[in-house]
Each structure stands twice: as C-alpha cells, then as structure tokens.
Amino acid sequence: MTTENLAVPPVSSADSASLIALMTTERWIEVGRIVLTGSVAFLYWQNLIPEYVLWAAVAIGLYPLVKAGLIDLFTERKIGTEIFVTVATLVAVFGGETVAGAVLMVIILIAEFIAELNTDRARASIKSLIGSVPQTALIRNASGKEQTVPVGEVKAGQIVLVRAGEKIPVDGVVVGGAAAVNQAPITGESLPLDKAEGSEVFAGTIVESGAIDVQTNKVGGDTIFSRIIALVENAESERAPVQKLADRVASWLIPIVLVFLVGVYIVTGDISKVVTLLIFTSPAELGLATPLVMIAAIARGARSGVLIKGGLYLELLAQADVMVFDKTGTLTANKPEVVRVQSLDAGLPEADLMRLAAAADRRSAHPLAKAVVEDAARRNLPVPEPESFEQIQARGVKATVEGKQVLVGNPALLKEAGVAISEAIVDAGRTPVHVAVDGKFVGVIFIADKLRPGAKEAIAALKQSGVKRVVMLTGDNAATAKAIADELGVDEVKADLMPEDKVAAIADLQKAGHRVAMVGDGVNDAPALARADVGIAMGGGGTQAALEAADIALMTDDLNKIVAARNIARRSYRTIQENLWVGVGVVHVLGITAALMGWIGPIEAAFIHLGPDVLVFLNSVKLLNVKISGA
C-alpha cells in the first residue's frame, strides 16, 4: 500500500462507487489488522497484557508496510514512506517508547487504508463522472422481430431501437425516428440536440424525448465513449514534471532526514525527540501533493467535455505563453460560401465562369472547392464532368472541361502555369479564388468563411489568463488572414503556409524560448499538433483521429472549452504549489520546531501528523466543485 496513489473521493452519490463492493477480503483483513493492533496497544497502555503480546501485534501491523517498502527498495531502487514508517516504529519500540510506536503505526495504517480505499473509489467513479453504457440493447433482426441482447453481441449494421429515457448503447447513424439527445457524457454540452435520419449518435448519450432507430457502426471498446474512458483512466501514467520532481525530492529527503536524526540523537540522547522528529520529517505528503490534484483536474476536465491525457499536459498548458491557432475550421466555422463573382473577360459571363470553375472543382474535397460547387448548384447551373483532373497541394486544381484547360486556385497556381497575372486580386476578409481558362486569367470567385461563434471572446479570455501572444497560421492569403486576425484580436499572422511551414513556425517560437500550445482540428494539423508543447484538437467527439492526435481533445467545436482547459490547468498547477508550500512545507516546519523545542511528544505528533494529509486532501478535491471559468 502507498499513500502516493491517494485519490479524490466522489463528490455526490451519483459519483459514488459502493463501499461494500470495494470491501474485498483483503480489505477486511486490513481492517482486522488495524483493530487488532490498536486494541492490543490500548490494552498494553492499561497494563492488561504483557509486552511480548504488543510486540507480536506490532509485527503483524508492520507486515504490509515492510512488504511494500522492500518491493519499492528492490524493484524501483527507492526508499519509500513505508520503510520510513517502519524505521520510526522500530526506533520507538526498541527505544522504550513502545506505546508511541504502536500508536504511530496504527495511525499510519489507518491513513494508508483510507488512501487505498479512496484510490479505488476514484478510479471506479471515473466512468460515473462521465456516464455509463447500457449492458443490453434492443435490436430489430432481419425478420423485423425485436429482441433484447447483451450489447457485446450487437454487430455492425444491426438496427438498435432506443426510446425516451434510455441510453444509446452503440455508436451509429439514425435511420428512423427523431429524438432530442443529451450528449453531455461525450461533449459536456448541457442542452440536448435534435437527431433525425442521417444524424450521428454516440454510445453513452441519453434520449431525452422521442425514439430513434440506430444503425450500428461501433460497439464496445471501439466506441468514442469507451475511448474517452480508456484515455482518462490511463491519464495517471502521464505524470507532470512537478509530480516527478516531488517524487525525486522525497527519495533524496529520506536519507538526509535519517542522517539528521542520527545527529539529533548523538547531541541530545533523547529517543523520544528522535521518534517525534521521525514523524514530522516523513515525506509522505510530498507523494500526495500532486497525484490528488491531477486526478481531480482530469476528472473535472472530462466532465466539462475536455479530455486531458495526463498531468504532463496540464502543467505544460498552464505554463504556455503562446497560443497558436489554425485558421480554417478552428477560428472560422469551416463553412465557406461564395459571396461575389468577378468576371474579367467580357466574353465569359459570370454564370459560365462559375460553371467551368465548378466543373474543375467537383472532384476536389477542399472546402473552398466544395463552396464553388455548392454555389453552382444553388444557381441551377449545369456542371459537366471534367475530362481530366489534378489536385495540386496548397495551390488548387487543374482540369480539362469541355476541351478547355481550366485552372482554379490561388495566384501561385496560375503563375506556375505561365498565366499572365499582373497582381493578385484581394478583398479584405474574403478569399479570392483565381480562375484561368486556356492560359488566360478570366475571373475571381470571392469566398468568405464565417468566424466561429465566441472566437473573439475566447482569445480575449486567453490573454487575460496570461497568454502573451496569439498566433494564427494559415495557408490562405495574407490579406484575408490579416482581416480575420484584426477582427479577432490575434497578435501575429503567418499566411500562405504549407503544412511543413506550420511545423517550422512552431519550432521557431520554441527556439525563441516560448512554451507553445497549438489548436487545430486534429486531422490536417497532426504534424503541427505533435510539434507543439501541447496539442489541442477540436471536435474530438466526432473523430477517432482527433482523440489520438492531440494531448488535449475538446469534445465539441466550442472555443470556450480551450479557455476552460487553460483555467483548469492553471488552477491545478496553483493547487499543487499550495499543497507543497502550505500543506507540506509550513506544517512540517512548525511540527519540527515544536519537536525540537520539546513542546510535543511522539503520540501528539502522530495525531498532528494527519493534519497535512487532511489539508492536502481537502485542497485537492475542491477542484471538482470550485467555480472555474468555462468549466
């Protein structure tokens, strides 16, 4: 057992794991060991039993501590708290402070038992913090008959029926019915969303009204919900640097303390004082100061629709002084629309220009190309299939349409093809798509993408939180990018970038000594997200790639979730510092001072020793309920 894994208890009955279920046979043995040792110590103190009985009880009580301590010593080459407590108990017993040694051991056993129990309660409640998935599903088989089966037996393609008040057991697409679905377990959004035929739904979400037929895409461990659970549960392994530092300090402190105590004994010859100091120089709270906070912060983030993959990323996000955003799909809504068409050839009407451009773009998956094709459809223009088509990265498309060579893209595309173009046409805030036909520049299609709601407010909030620079990276032209940046309050713009240029831009910021957080869509920006100190992907609730690519995944496209993640990170980092300096430093200094002055003895110290544990515990768990902006 170790107090290093002490975790937060649930904060409500809905979050609670049953204590009875957690009380395994091994736990009842621990309870018996504590009761036996405590009872024997009390009886000996009352002179009702001989000393050898107390020694036997102490041996029984020390067994789990010695076992855990030796495992740490030989497997991890670490002198842990268990060895420290064992030494303190033995020094007290053999030094004539037998009752004090037994009381100390009982108190430590109680603390360790509570720590272990709370650890399992916290881990068992992580799922309930987010939600749970039904264990059965009502399916409609090929003959139209309905039957209830275990969810593990549901196959991809089968139709699952979900009624009002029920949780959806699979990931899939609605193929019948309509419903209002509460997606808070996945996205953290409190308002239900309307779902109809063609809508995507997720396991673990709740049908609040209506009824739907869902065609299964994923079940069990493949669902987005299960991936979230797995990533949150594994987040403990990604320890923050401050957590690793606390562990290292604890390992260094123990031998130093032992040397100090030997010196005290040589000078004073007072074994009682040495035992008292042993209690207050225990580094156990250093092990508690950070894991508690990290688990609480990760759980708080998950409940708010922010998936944080470990304490490492919490600390890095708290320390980030530069926030880098991709433009398209992050600061903008990624729903571009044609707003103006300008023909530069009197013999080519606007409608013909759009028809040729849409024909060239119809095989492209680029958002701007889709906007051109959709606009042509709205105009009811007949758009032919191109005879040939080529997508040119970061440039545009080249196609043959009705025997004509058509280029649709940015000025660089036209210039590289030898098309005469005196200067690029710009329109602030709009992206100009240049069109050439048979080697002649014939017109421009202006496309605008709406700003994502709340983007300006989110950037302002990030600056208030201590972010010194906000940078926007985009492959769009400089004029359009600057207009958007000015409207949002972005400090710096880097435009006309290829994907590798975005990676280089982040590397340059890091070389200048900045801690960089990058926000993107988690798919197209994967290299840049990986290069940044912290990669934040938006819209993780709908894509497996976003969950895998980023260090932090936002389960919706709400930019305020970035503010929430930043504020959770900063609050957790501050809480760790409070734990280390106040809960550990101040209390221990006062305790050591009182011991050296002879104001307290071993038994008083053993009871007072619980103080730092309680302070650290209470200060950490408040992260689950304290008001945090955006969370």
Residues 212-236: tens digit of each pLDDT: 999 999 888 778 777 766 666 665 5
CB burial of residue 20 (10 Å; 0-12, 13-18, 19+)? exposed
Q: Cβ(518)–Cβ(532) under 8 Å?
A: yes
Beta bridge partners of 74: none
Give CA–CA dist 96/56, Å, rounded.
16
> Of 326, 551, 557, 613, which is the active-site residue?
326
Beta strands, E only, 344-485: 388-392, 396-401, 404-409, 431-437, 440-448, 469-473
- How do strand 322-326 and strand 516-520 relate by DSSP bridges? parallel
Q: What is the DSSP letter of 135?
A: S
Looking at residue 10, its pLDDT comes to 38
- How do strand 516-520 and strand 534-537 relate by DSSP bridges? parallel
Provide CB contacts within 8 A for 179, sequence distance 6+. 162, 164, 194, 195, 207, 208, 209, 210, 211, 212
Looking at residue 2, its pLDDT comes to 36
Beta strands, E only, 452-608: 469-473, 492-494, 516-520, 534-537, 552-554
Write out residues in the chain with pLDDT < 70, as ranges.
1-22, 76-81, 111, 114-132, 184-191, 228-251, 254, 282-289, 424, 428, 522-524, 540-549, 583-585, 587, 610-613, 630-631
Q: Cβ(212)–Cβ(165) under 8 Å?
A: no
The encoded tokens of residue 14 equal 């809905």
> Which of 526, 525, 533, 481 has the alpha carbon at shortest distance from 507?
533
Give CA–CA dist 450/464, Å, rounded.
25
Measured torsion, CA atoms of residues 50, 51, 57, 59, in degrees rounded to the nearest 10: -150
The encoded tokens of residue 119 equal 């650890």
Looking at residue 27, its pLDDT comes to 82
Give CA–CA dist 453/17, Å, rounded.
39
Looking at residue 236, its pLDDT comes to 54
Query: How is the beta sheet containing 337-343 ordered, strand by strand?
Result: 337-343, 440-448, 431-437, 404-409, 396-401, 388-392
Q: What is the DSSP letter of 220?
A: G
Give CA–CA dist 437/388, Å, rounded.
14
Looking at residue 17, its pLDDT comes to 42
Provide CB contacts within 8 A for 39, sequence distance 6+. none
Beta bridge partners of 537: 520, 553
Looking at residue 511, its pLDDT comes to 94
Measured torsion, CA atoms of residues 145, 149, 152, 154, in degrees rounded to the nearest 10: 10
Q: Is 533 a catalytic site residue?
A: no
Q: Work out the number of other CB atoms within 10 angstroms of the CB of residue 187.
A: 23
> Which of 280, 234, 139 has the alpha carbon at shortest distance from 548?
234
Provide CB contacts within 8 A for 92, sequence distance 6+. 98, 100, 101, 104, 271, 275, 278, 602
Looking at residue 362, its pLDDT comes to 93
User: In angstroms, how far is CA 205 from the centroid of its own chain?
Assistant: 20
Looking at residue 524, its pLDDT comes to 60
> Which of 600, 110, 570, 21 has the alpha carbon at shortest distance from 300?
570
> Which of 607, 624, 530, 523 has the alpha carbon at shortest distance from 571?
624
Sign of CA dihedral 480, 484, 486, 487: positive
Residue the block writes with tokens 């060895």: 83
Q: Cβ(49)–Cβ(40) under 8 Å?
A: yes
Look at the chain and count its residues. Answer: 631
The encoded tokens of residue 145 equal 């008959």
